[in-house]
Structure 1
Amino acid sequence: MKTLYIVRHAKSSWEYSGIDDIDRPLKKRGIKDAHLMSKYLAKNIERPDVFVSSSANRALHTSIIFCENMGYPLANLQINRQLYSFSDGYLVKTVCALDDAFNSAIIFSHDHGINTFVNKFGNKPIAHVTTCGIIGIQFEEKHWKNIKKGKTFMVEFPKNLK
């Protein structure tokens, strides 16, 4: 069995003009939400075997906060440039390419790709994954490359914990 947690990056800022989208930072609210959600996970799940993040500043910052609060070594955080995509294609490729030695993984990515992925691979329809939302899906397969429809067992958003 494989367990996957998908995290949409925390709330980012549009305040800075002249910077590329990939460089947008988190807002203060995003930082607070990332701490809230990562501390919730740290108390309620076994720490995933591997953490993988998009290279976008907002996703990377979110993943670093999760690493810190969940006791995952930053040196082991995997950064995947392909996750900076707004379709589910690279998310699917990233999940399917995970090492089978990992039974659980947490991936930090972006809006549209996440929404499409969790509805395609989970068994619970989700209209919209909010910023810093976490979706947990379990798959019966032994190999990540063989994942099919899984069981959505966690749908958690910051507003539910405030």
Structure 2
Amino acid sequence: MKSLTILRHAKSGWDVAVERDFDRPINKRGARGAELIGQWLKRQKLPVDRIIASPAVRVTETLDIFQPAAGLDALEPHWDRRIYLASAATLIDVIRDTGRDAGHLLISGHNPGLEDLILMLVPETPGDDLRARVEEKLPTSALARLDLDIADWHGLDIDVARFADFIRPRDLDPALAPAMDDD
């Protein structure tokens, strides 16, 4: 059995002038969300053996805050450019390629790819509230934890996962709930 933790980057700073989307940083609200989600993961004592992530600035800054808060600062992320704005199919390929022998893998990146990945991996089941929340939206700094009945990451395929957890920053601090759809 494997577990996959999916972490969307923290809220971006749209008020910062950057030449490329890749270079957009997170803002204060995003930093708080990343910290809260990291603290939550640490309290849950959920293991992570390996981290793969987009090298985009908003992801690197998210992990700079999330990892110490989660007690994962000893893990060096594997930066994979393919994750930047990737489709769910590409993310599956990345996980198959870089998961290696990790039992508990964390991937951090961007929407819509991460949201689509979750919806591809977790089959539709009547009354699945967690899947319904992801269908509504995978907000910034949200974390989904999936359990997979596979022996090797090469066996990753659609409809092989089930939710273990799903948490959003607003679940931990209502002040972080969006006023509007402002990701």
| Aligned equivalent of 2:168 | 157
Alignment RMSD: 1.5
User: What is the aligned length?
Assistant: 162
1:129-144 alignment, distance < 5 Å: 129-144=138-153
2:168 maps to a residue whose letter is F
Calculate the TM-score normalised by the size of structure 1. 0.93
Cα–Cα, structure 1 residues 99 and 52, in superposed 2: closer, same or farther, change >3 Å?
closer
| Structure 2 residues without counterparts, runs of 5 or longer | 124-130, 174-183
Calculate the TM-score normalised by the size of structure 2. 0.82
1:72-151 alignment, distance < 5 Å: 72-73=72-73, 76-123=76-123, 124-125=131-132, 126-127=134-135, 128-148=137-157, 149-151=160-162
Of all paired residues, the percent bearing the same amino acid is: 24
Would you say 1:13 and 2:24 are equivalent positions? Answer: no
Larger CA deviation: 105-114 vs 93-102: 93-102
Task: Kindly indicate whether the alpha-carbon contact (under 8 Å) linking 2:40 and 2:70 is maintained by their aligned counterparts in 1.
Answer: no
Higher-Rg member (1/2): 2
| Cα separation, 1, equivalents of 2:146 and 2:19 | 35
| Aligned equivalent of 2:22 | 22
2:148 maps to a residue whose letter is F
| Structure 1 residues without counterparts, runs of 5 or longer | none
SS in 2 for 1:7: strand
Task: Kindly indicate whether the alpha-carbon contact (under 8 Å) linking 1:35 and 1:69 is maintained by their aligned counterparts in 2.
Answer: yes
